[in-house]
Chains A and B, each alone.
Chain A
Amino acid sequence: MPIINDTLFFDEKAHGEALERALMMSPQEVVMEIRESGLRGRGGAGFPTGTKWMLALSAKADKKFVVCNADEGEPGTFKDRVLLSEYTKLVLEGMVIGGYAIQAQKGFIYLRGEYAYLLEHLNTFLERMRKENRLGDNILGTSFSFDIEIRLGSGAYVCGEETALIESLEGHRGEARNRPPFPVNTGYLGYPTIVNNVETFACAYIVMSKGAQWFAKYGTEKSKGMKLISVSGDCKKPGVYEVPFGITVKELLELVQADRTKAVQIGGASGICIPMSEINRNISFEDIPTGGSVIIFNEDRSMLKVLRNFMEFFVEESCGQCTPCRVGNKKLLEGVEMLEKGECSHRYLNELIELGKTMQIASKCGLGQSSPNPFISIVTNFKDEIMSNSIRGNNGR
Chain B
Amino acid sequence: MIFPDKNVLVNEVDTLVRKYGNGRESLLPILQDIQRKFGFISDFAMQEVAHQLNIHPVEVYGVVTFYSFLSTEPKGKYVIRLCKTISCELAGKDAVANTLERELNLKFGETSMDRKFTLEYCHCIGMCDQGPAMLINESVYTKLTPSKVIEIIESLK
Contacts and interface: CB of A to CB of B under 8 A. Distances in A.
- Is there direct touching of A and B in the complex, by C-beta distance under 8 Å? yes
Interface of A: 72-78, 80-81, 112-117, 151-157, 168-174, 189, 230-234, 238-240, 265, 269, 293, 295, 297, 301, 305-306, 309-310, 313, 316-317, 319
Given A113-B69, A114-B122, A169-B25, A78 B127 contact: yes
A172 B86 contact: no
Interface string B126-157: 11111100010011100000000000000000
Q: How large is the interface on B (under 10, 10 to 19, 20 to 34, 35 or more residues)?
A: 35 or more
B68 interface: yes
9 contacts: A78-B127, A113-B67, A156-B66, A157-B123, A171-B53, A173-B62, A189-B25, A232-B128, A310-B86
Nearest to A237: B129
A81 B125 CA distance: 10
Interface stretch (B1-9, B27-35, B100-108): B27-35
A151 B69 contact: no
Contact of A172 (B29, B63, B85, B139): B63
B63 A173 contact: yes
A367 B138 CA distance: 27
B98 interface: no
A155 B125 CA distance: 9
Contacts, number: 122
Given A78-B126, A168-B28, A173 B86 contact: no
A230 B129 contact: yes
A173 B65 CA distance: 9
B87 to A, nearest CB: 4
Contacts of A114: 122, 125-126, 135
A171 B27 contact: yes
Contact of A156 (B24, B31, B68, B129): B68
B129 A316 contact: no
A77 B126 contact: yes
Contact of B87 (A155, A173, A233, A319): A233
A313 B90 contact: no
A269 B89 CA distance: 13
Interface string B42-76: 00000000000100000000110011111000000
Nearest to B23: A171
Contacts of A74: 124
A309 B129 contact: no
A238 B69 contact: no
Contact of B24 (A113, A170, A232): A170
- What 7 A-B pairs have minimum CB-CB distances, sorted nearest first? A155-B68, A171-B27, A238-B129, A154-B67, A232-B128, A155-B69, A232-B87
Contact of A73 (B70, B89, B124): B124
A294 to B, nearest CB: 10
Contacts of A112: 126
Nearest to A297: B90
B26 interface: yes
Interface of B: 23-29, 31-32, 53, 62-63, 66-70, 84-87, 89-90, 122-131, 135, 138-140
> Max chain B CB contacts within 10 Å: which of A114, A155, A172, A305?
A114
Contact of A171 (B25, B86, B89, B127): B25
Contacts of B130: 238
B147 to A, nearest CB: 22
Contacts of A81: 126
A360 B139 CA distance: 37
A172 B24 contact: yes
A172 B65 CA distance: 11
Nearest to B129: A238
A154 B70 contact: yes
A172 B24 CA distance: 8
A74 B129 CA distance: 14
B66 A152 contact: no
Nearest to B86: A309
A255 B129 CA distance: 15
A169 B20 CA distance: 13
A362 B42 CA distance: 38
Contacts of B69: 113, 154-155
B67 A75 contact: no
A230 B129 CA distance: 8
A171 B63 contact: yes
A112 B81 CA distance: 15
Contacts of A155: 67-70, 122-123
B33 to A, nearest CB: 10
B123 A313 contact: yes
